[in-house]
Amino acid sequence: MARQRRDPELDELIAEITVDCYDVDEELTGFECAFDEQAALPCSGTVIGEDVQVLSVATQNGRRELIATCEHRGRRYQMALLDIDLQADRATERLLAAYRQWAAYR
């Protein structure tokens, strides 16, 4: 499967988020901070056809990806942010697009 083309605007956002980072772990923490500061959470999302509320995004347990805490039918679940189709405001969707692009090329 061919990789998608890089989006230069997302590259600029990735550069802003990771400007002071020395390695991949610090870049991931940069994305965690960006979601904490700029994303409009909670927001709606869909996972395997089920509606969820995305409550927060963080790094957890040494995993090298962002984990979303979601609520579905009154229960909380943790899952990879990349597995969620967000229905959010433009700024949050742009952050997710930048994170997806960063994850695909790191």
pLDDT tens digits for the chain (106 residues)? 445 567 889 999 999 999 999 999 999 999 999 999 999 999 999 999 999 999 999 998 777 899 999 999 999 999 999 999 999 999 999 999 999 999 998 8
Q: How far apart are the first and last CA of the chain?
A: 17
Question: Which pTM value belongs to this model?
Answer: 0.89
